[in-house]
A and B are shown apart, each in its own frame.
Chain A
């Protein structure tokens, strides 16, 4: 018996020591090969103050270098470097090429972090808080000071403030950031991912173009359509996208908001949700909205939209253009248009999209990067107006020319080109908001027939409220508040469907009360206390 026990414990000891031994070796190797750590302290300054300077660090080192890159978006349109015009051009100008791995599962990146097997670069917007850790990713400010000091002079200080974490470092510069000047540029527009609400123009005409000024009018329109087309899907919301009808009521669900007293709350705790759910439940009970629409996968939503049997729908700003093209190509008599009005609710127009304005996705340089010097120089290139124009607009003279309004004029046949051939867009790891805005606005010039998204985004831009401090209220990873936030999000995702699909108004109200009671049990108050403290702290940054 003793022998057996000895054998078993020896076995586990060997396993433990082996694992510990492996990890010890990794650490030593990592430290030995960590060029940014070896000769600290570092920090240089530079007198360069223009992106046009020939002395920018990226222009001085253009020897070939390849980076293993992980793109954490399963929907990404490209996964191969060097086959399209833009990526070839980037390699030509900088010497950098990428070995791309596109994520197929959101959990993949977590596993790479845990196994310490991160590649040279990671592009993600998911759980970015995990990378705000000097053991996982290089603080960009340190790399800049050491390898591209002029970049500090060239970056917008507000952008740096936006991305600086409580430890005083910034680990990435979020894409699509707009400072006030860029935002106010008339060419600029909000993100194409903005929500839009669409109706069928042809059917509206058929039923005599009844008034549509309010959400109450919408119920009347739905009733008329249902009478005329009993087999038609009256309203099909995208299963995962922000619902624009919610926005019309002045609400946001997953994002935080500030109340009149300036206190931050988690989106769905807004008391206005009671009315929203009541309204949506009435759509469901009247047969305008099916429970199944919440069960669809995004591709199933798209498939049903393409059938042309949908009267109204909601998704991102490009839905009408995409669908109208499909309808036209397939000879389907249907035409979607975005609703370019803030539909009132109970006599009040409340549509006021709130933008935390600090950007979207992040390109990280993990500590496993084998050449952090070239990595930051590559980032410098991408961040420069030259890199921004190349990645978001294409090659000047080949893919575009600028007109006198500084909008893009595309060559003939451009709209038939595929993104996998041009590479315009996806390699924009440090994209500016203005660059994207100009590209989207210019769509009205090159493709006027399918440019309703431009009208929608212009309409929304006029209503936008910007509040960058709200971007800092998200709890840090591995904290109690982080876990509460995750659970609340899951609670809302499931409860909202249960409330909307309740058999009666009373039942819907009961389910709403239960959701709020469960939210309190999970720790809503604790989370909001944290968020308010973080918000007050963040406000100081912008004073």
Chain B
């Protein structure tokens, strides 16, 4: 054995020992990581095997073995979805609802966090913060019931109020009107989730070095200038990370991840033209009918688009600001 090779082997075995020793020292941390990895493998990666049924004619009666034994049908289900008379309408609804929600629900927690941070009265600040994040814990089922009670045209409090102040002559059919559906989704999502996401941005703001603010004050910066030139740049990384995560879940409903719940619970035959989205369609025409292959194909389309979005947004964020998830 040549001398240089021998020394390389010795060095390698030495470094392997060092790694092993370090692993033993960190065994509790490493075990925690392994549990996390195992969780991901079992619940996120293993189920991906099932994606093959998107390309197969899987029948319920064949059970799990049918994943592998059923016949291949190529892109049949993808094409069926594409040729569906409602395809473009469903895609439009999914994209528009998702974009509207990102557009309006993403900046509001940031603005609210900044506003809260500027409140000097501690009691008021705490009250506002608690009151704003409590709705997060109410399920969408309950929220949809509340919306019905508030907005229905028979005895909804909103209609009664608007009529009492003379703004409208007859009740507005908020629940059965296509034109009110999208605003209703965005506003209810903001009401429910704004306070929750504010916590993250408040935490980021709390981490801003106070000396930066002191220096800005010394330089004569006013409150708005400090917000624009100290607070916002300091929490830029957090904003970008949250934005990338929200974009990755764009079709799921962004921050709140509530597209399905809202469309399912607030959608009805009257507003169907604007409320049917990929997820509700998958449930109705795929899962509810036992058409798992078809449902998987539609789900896969959505996943591919979401993955593309997260890759593109991460790349763009990195290019623009040097900050990215990976």
Contacts and interface: CB of A to CB of B under 8 A. Distances in A.
A418 to B, nearest CB: 26
A349 to B, nearest CB: 30
Nearest to B294: A483
A449 B142 CA distance: 37
A133 B63 CA distance: 13
A518 interface: yes
Interface stretch (B194-202, B249-257, B268-276): B268-276
Interface string B143-158: 0000010001111000
A493 B63 contact: no
Given A15-B49, A496-B269, A498-B273, A127 B176 contact: no
Interface stretch (A241-249, A287-295, A357-365, A406-414): A287-295
B283 to A, nearest CB: 7
A328 to B, nearest CB: 22
Interface stretch (B19-27, B64-72, B129-137, B237-245): B64-72
Interface stretch (A65-73, A112-120, A145-153, A253-261): A112-120
A274 B270 CA distance: 19
B38 interface: no
Interface string B14-52: 000000000000000000000000000000001001000
- State which size class the interface on B falls in: 35 or more
Given A19-B67, A113-B61, A292-B270, A107 B153 contact: no
Given A291-B177, A295-B268, A107 B283 contact: yes
Nearest to B155: A307
B285 interface: yes
B59 interface: yes
Contacts of B292: 114
Given A16-B68, A292-B176, A521-B85, A106 B270 contact: no
A501 interface: yes
Contacts of A292: 152-154, 173, 175-176, 270
A12 interface: yes
A116 B288 contact: no
Interface residues of A, number: 49
B153 A290 contact: yes
B289 interface: yes
A286 interface: no
B65 A290 contact: no
A292 B63 CA distance: 42
Contact of B154 (A116, A136, A304): A304
Contacts of B85: 491, 518, 521-522
A490 B154 CA distance: 28
A42 to B, nearest CB: 23
Given A114-B60, A136-B61, A295 B67 contact: no
Contacts, number: 107
A15 B285 contact: no
A481 to B, nearest CB: 13
A233 B63 contact: no
A486 B269 contact: no
Interface of chain A, main secondary structure: helix
B236 interface: no
Nearest to B272: A494
B107 interface: no
Contacts of B173: 290-292
A113 B59 CA distance: 10
Contact of A294 (B46, B63, B84, B176): B176
Contact of A115 (B63, B283, B285, B287): B63
Contacts of B288: 106-107, 110
Given A290-B153, A490-B285, A113 B177 contact: no
Contacts of A107: 283, 287-288
Which of A300, A304, A496, A522 has the most CB atoms of chain B within a 10 A radius of its CB?
A: A300
B284 interface: yes
B64 A22 contact: yes
A300 B285 contact: no
Most buried by B among A20, A292, A518: A292
B291 interface: yes
Given A130-B290, A292-B176, A116 B64 contact: yes
A477 B269 contact: no
Contacts of B155: 307
A295 B176 CA distance: 6
B158 to A, nearest CB: 13
B63 A130 contact: no
B49 A16 contact: yes
Contacts of B270: 291-292, 294-295, 497, 501
Nearest to B84: A487
Interface string B63-103: 11101100000000000000011000000000000000000
A294 B268 contact: yes
A23 interface: yes
Contacts of B283: 107
Interface string B279-304: 00001110111111010000000000
A27 to B, nearest CB: 8
A95 B177 CA distance: 55
Given A110-B287, A290-B153, A490-B284, A20 B65 contact: yes
A523 to B, nearest CB: 11
Interface string A289-332: 01110110000100010010100000000000000000000000
Contacts of A543: none
Contacts of A494: 269, 272-273
A477 B152 CA distance: 39
Given A110-B288, A113-B290, A521-B85, A133 B175 contact: no
Contacts of B177: 291
A300 B175 CA distance: 13
A477 B290 contact: yes
A470 B149 CA distance: 42
B152 to A, nearest CB: 7
A518 B59 CA distance: 28
Given A130-B60, A294-B269, A295-B268, A20 B176 contact: no
Nearest to A126: B288
Interface in A489-522: 490-491, 493-494, 496-498, 501, 518, 521-522
A478 interface: yes
Given A16-B68, A292-B176, A294-B270, A135 B287 contact: no
B205 to A, nearest CB: 42
Interface in B153-173: 153-155, 173
Given A22-B64, A497-B270, 11 more contacts: A15-B46, A19-B68, A23-B64, A114-B290, A133-B61, A136-B61, A233-B154, A294-B176, A295-B270, A482-B289, A486-B285
Interface of B: 46, 49, 59-65, 67-68, 84-85, 148, 152-155, 173, 175-177, 268-273, 283-285, 287-292, 294
15 contacts: A16-B68, A20-B65, A22-B64, A107-B283, A114-B63, A133-B61, A135-B62, A136-B61, A292-B152, A309-B154, A477-B290, A483-B291, A486-B285, A491-B85, A497-B272
Interface of A: 12, 15-16, 19-20, 22-24, 26-27, 106-107, 110, 113-116, 127, 130, 133, 135-136, 233, 290-292, 294-295, 300, 304, 307, 309, 477-478, 482-483, 486-487, 490-491, 493-494, 496-498, 501, 518, 521-522
| 10 A-B pairs with least C-beta separation | A295-B268, A292-B176, A295-B176, A291-B176, A497-B269, A23-B65, A494-B272, A110-B290, A116-B63, A23-B64
